[in-house]
Amino acid sequence: MSNNDNKPRIVVVGGGAGGLELVTRLGRSLGRRGRAEITLIDSSRTHLWKPLLHEVAAGTLDSHDDELDYLAQASTNHFRFVLGRMNGLDRAGKRVRLAALYNAQGEEVMPERTHPYDLLVLAVGSVCNDFGIPGVAEHCLFLDTTEQAQQFQNHLLEAYFHAHALGGPQQPGQLDVAIVGGGATGIELSAQLHQATRLLSAYGLDQVKPSDIKIHLIEASPRLLPGLPERLSKATLAQLESLGIEVRLGERVTRVSREGIVTHTGRFIPAALKVWAAGIKAPEFLRDLDGLESNPINQLVVRPTLQTTRDDCIFAIGDCAACPWPEKQTTVPPRAQSAHQMANLVFRNLHRRLDGKPLLEFRYRDYGSLVSLGKYSTVGNLMGNLLGSVMIEGWIARLVYLTLYKRHQLALFGLPRVSLLLLAGFFRRRLRPKIKLH
């Protein structure tokens, strides 16, 4: 289990919340001491915490302010970064297959390659699941990546400038936004868009009034946030309705066209911009990945040690892992806190593996859920051994929500740099517009 330098090669594929935290900690420990060669592979050059993508889409956050450069992170934390998109695996030869990369003009920038490993951690996250519904792939925007979030924001600005130049919208639905999915992503995006429309008018695009834009939130279940306590669902619904967002519950989408969305009741919802946030699946290439066991949504089935069921040298964490949750008789939910906890365990298990010790088993601890409604409110439930489940709202919930991101930054940068980032953000918010206008 070694290369020419007699060091085990540990490769992490996917630089999301869990993968980046894991490879940073491995670099600081095993990489810095020369005990292993640590490598991160990702198809993007930068990292942005995925729960922030709805703010990028609405324009209330400039992604460049919070992006992390993988190369810079690698150089200061004793690991290597390889730009590439995984599309296959050679388990016998212990090599990750990487697809060719092309630029915007369609020119090949990097050819197909393979990368060797001794121990492999797959942390490739998830993508939106369109469930095969006609028209979704062709007419909906998704929020899986920073690029997709920026694309949505560009479409929103173009539609706004066009309507402003004409003295206002010329036909019904010209500026309307339909968001499919009443989970955290859809709810948070709808609230941020409500805030963005008011900011755009305040910055001079006053030919378009906030009332000219309708925001529709469509959910197939009879309530929002169906996996969370009903009190939380009701509080969220009340807040969204107070903002004027049209929430349509119990409406299952059957078809999407260029003009709008059709539901199973026959209702047609006109919308120029359509966002799909109604479920997730793991990337398609994980299905039957060189014989590894996967479930119907392409997640790799793992044992309690987070090793894949058919290969002791391959681990999976985060949204791409189907990890058992015995207490709930289901699998661990795809949340940032899940990825963080899995990364912690795999970090310890990789150390134990190199030391010849037995591996530890994963036990998921649910600390609750929080949903941000932008500047208007945050609602959620916190769970603990002493208090059970506690409903929180308002500024306390907002403070806890912001703390989650700061914990992620602390894992990556340490306290001194996070303190500087807080100070820089304070001045940046006072120098720049409250919404990205380009």
CATH number of the domain that residue 296 is part of: 3.50.50.60
pLDDT tens digit sequence for 82-131: 999 999 999 999 999 999 999 889 999 999 999 999 999 999 999 999 99
CB distance 88 to 122 below 8 Å? no
Lowest mean per-residue pLDDT among 254-263, 294-303, 305-314, 429-438: 429-438
Query: How sure is the predictor about 385, in pLDDT bands with cuts at 50, 70 and 90?
Result: very low
Does 158 lie in the same domain as 141?
A: yes
Specify if 3 maps to a domain. Answer: no
What is the number of structural domains in the chain? 3
Query: How sure is the predictor about 63, in pLDDT bands with cuts at 50, 70 and 90?
Result: confident
User: pLDDT above 70 covers what percent of the chain?
Assistant: 88
Does 274 lie in the same domain as 287?
A: no
Specify if 4 maps to a domain. Answer: no
pLDDT at 220: 95
Most confident of 115-129, 164-178, 183-197: 115-129
Does 425 lie in the same domain as 325?
A: no
First to last CA, the chain: 50
> For the packed helices 336-354 and 17-26, what is the interaxial angle rounded to 10 degrees?
30
pLDDT at 166: 83
Whether 342 has a pLDDT exceeding 70, the answer reads: yes
pLDDT tens digit sequence for 123-137: 999 999 999 999 999
Whether 2 has a pLDDT exceeding 50, the answer reads: no
pTM over 0.85: yes
Give one DSSP letter per residue of 43-90, joined into a string. SSSEE--GGGHHHHHHTSS-HHHH-EEHHHHHHHTT-EEEE-EEEEEE
Specify if 313 maps to a domain. Answer: yes
Domain that holds residue 23: 9-126+282-354
Whether 387 has a pLDDT exceeding 50, the answer reads: no
Domain end, chosen from 330, 354, 378, is at 354
Whether 395 has a pLDDT exceeding 60, the answer reads: no
Does 24 lie in the same domain as 114?
A: yes
Give one DSSP letter per residue of 87-107, joined into a string. EEEETTTTEEEEE-EE-TTS-
Does 298 lie in the same domain as 265?
A: no
pLDDT at 273: 93
Q: Encoding tokens for residue 366?
A: 């649910």
Does 296 lie in the same domain as 265?
A: no
**What is the average pLDDT across 68-90?**
96
Q: Encoding tokens for residue 172?
A: 């019904």
Specify if 216 maps to a domain. Answer: yes
- Cα torsion angle, 108, 112, 115, 121, sign: positive
**What is the average pLDDT across 214-232?**
88
Does 15 lie in the same domain as 101?
A: yes
